[in-house]
Structure 1
């Protein structure tokens, strides 16, 4: 959390942090695959966008972890925005000219906004915490510009990243290319129990948190009553997500 430049709830942070710690003992520069999914359509929410009649709604169903209405039940009212600013952001980007299909609209938003403010920043923070430099060849601007001109159906082929997979088959075994998509699972922070439960409980109930009053007390009580059961649509722990935000603010003196 000290290495985060902003609150980041993804469990990948832990994996990248520990991986960077170990790798930095041996080398100082690595190559990262960051950006391939956003440039070549590798994520699960891109296929539903193909032919979507309401692209914003289709994107929101696949990508948003909380609706504006749900958030109203979780945040202290003083901190709630009057309008659904997250949806408005997506609507504004999708409405811009230059993306011919819903898939292209999603890819443009993800590569220009989401990618920069989440996965790339996440890896950069966790690698630099150990003096490790991670370079991102898939984000070479000429490659990204070329990918932007490729029709989406070619990128969606073969379960996503079709054109990239075809090019890679010349040099990489198919069993590597076609293996199941992997993540950094951290069960202890998804199904929170024991010392981790005590850690987040202390952070969310100490005097600093009470004075801030960011979250609705009834909502926090519900999470503490059954912490392993409150999992978001995108399979994250609600308790871990609210705890990271509060812990980050406390650690960085916000």
Structure 2
């Protein structure tokens, strides 16, 4: 895994931007602590920070073709690149790296090669003969890529926003629509950035830049649902493709470990990886003395004969850690599990460079608890949904179940005028996922921008298949994959997600939801495929999540101090965007997650306003 950056100038004076590129790659050192490289053309500079994992000795970048016409700076992994290489026998390879396979594919097929490229990636290719830059991002958005136009017309790109800002060629302009989206979903969308003049390359898209013209195109779409597939055949194909994915992702020139929570997804990855690697090392994480996951992980590790390590961490100053997160993520990001994830990655990096994870399973197999009320809605309409909510409330009052945050939001929105949206299951899901509803946003003084509800409120034909696909396209890249990329790469740790192998994930996305979830069971196909090989202690487990103790954090003096200084003070930067009086009213009636979302935005604005003169549109 690596960090990439580059600048294309409007005239043949790229040499004048060498220092700007150096500043950019320096800001990406955490993504590639093993080395750096730069390639200079008349109009283009490419930069690279390297985390050496495959072809450690000769895989340095930027890498060029033998005639020096084409160069690439690449971040990611091309799984199964060895097989692809055998199909390119006429290309004069000089290394054993997957990066050179990307170069060879470009020379043989042109930009169209990206449509069949497997793996997780973000890369930029400069073709000096065509005077064109070609950039692309992987299908699900595992690897990030941003671009902007500089003050002198330069095209600037980087793995992270901080790299673009380090160039000194872009003055950031805050995008109020992106802030509104953040308040609704706790993160910025995968196809935008928090700044209106810095763009995210959307997942499954490429960008071509030539003669001052930027072209952005989609190169891949989610596969269609195959409704008539036989359940038994589906389970068999599921097993074949997942084993193939894990086998490919274990390939590295450094040791590979596995994160093990004791949940169904990570346990399955450990099961398959242990069959392929008898010396596999697994890691579980005890965050601030919460032993709930460790016990289950220990049982799985014992069952599969893993070399298991239990990592621990205490967050002594949560306020200081929250401030640090704004530097790591570049944008406001309020999924509070990012803090324990960041600390886990820091601990794991002391042992490994590469770790497999179970990320993506909840979206592909229907693992989230918020799907249950939607299933009842699809089955029996709004009456079924209300019956489910009533049952959950009774269960909670009887002390028989923990009410998850997603269900709490569901209860909240049913009392705030969302009933009309329940004519559409996607509308219900959109409301279900929103931290602040339109009336909340109006109170905060930021409503009226692009609504994330509008396009989902009237599509009565939508089904649970559409909900799962929506989360794979929207929630997963914007929240889950952003979280793990920044948390891991801040420590120079590469995370790999076998569930997101394009062949396996495409197969799962083509399956009808009836093979994944029902009103009584989640992850049906995963359970049918592997439950016989799981330890008894985890077979009945449902989604627990990697949460954070918000109630305890809000009692911490460091958080109280932050709230007073940047969320209660009328002169704080956040109140250049939000209404002070409206925010104070909201804080009086907010739940912990809403309060955290506002606090993260306040901390982010306080930090960035002290560094950049952020204009607002």
Q: TM-score range by the shorter chain?
A: 0.7 to 0.9
Q: 1:117 to 1:68 in 2, by over 3 A?
A: same
The one of 452, 456, 469 aligned to 1:108 = 469
Aligned twin of 1:240: 596
Q: Distance in 1 between matches of 2:454 and 2:581?
A: 28
Which ranges of structure 2 fall in alignment gaps of 5 or more residues? 1-324, 382-422
Which ranges of structure 1 fall in alignment gaps of 5 or more residues? none
TM-score (norm 2): 0.36
Aligned twin of 2:435: 65
Q: Distance in 2 between matches of 1:89 and 1:174?
A: 44
Q: Distance in 1 between matches of 2:570 and 2:432?
A: 35
Q: 1:163 to 1:174 in 2, by over 3 A?
A: farther
Shift of 1:190: 6.6
Shift of 1:206: 7.2
Aligned twin of 1:209: 573
Shift of 1:129: 0.8
Greater share of helix = 1
3-state DSSP of counterpart to 2:373: helix
Aligned twin of 2:483: 122
Q: 1:25 to 1:189 in 2, by over 3 A?
A: farther
CA deviation string 1:4-58 (max 9, x = no partner): 1321111111110111111111111111111111111111232333325521332
| Number of aligned residues | 237
Q: Distance in 2 between matches of 1:199 and 1:89?
A: 37
3-state DSSP of counterpart to 2:367: coil
Q: Kindly report which structure 2 residues correspond to 1:99-178, keeping only aligned pairs within 5 A, or say none.
A: 102-157=463-518, 159-178=521-540
1:199 and 2:555 aligned: no
CA deviation string 1:191-212 (max 9, x = no partner): 61332111132123374516x5
Shift of 1:230: 2.5
Q: Distance in 2 between matches of 1:34 and 1:46?
A: 18
Greater share of strand = 2
Contact 2:435 2:594 in 1 (8 A): no
Q: Bigger relative contact order, structure 1 or 2, given CA contacts below 8 A and separation 6+?
A: 1
Q: 1:88 to 1:222 in 2, by over 3 A?
A: closer
Q: 1:166 to 1:5 in 2, by over 3 A?
A: farther
Shift of 1:244: 0.7
1:15 and 2:340 aligned: yes
Larger Rg: 2
Contact 2:349 2:492 in 1 (8 A): yes
Q: 1:90 to 1:117 in 2, by over 3 A?
A: farther
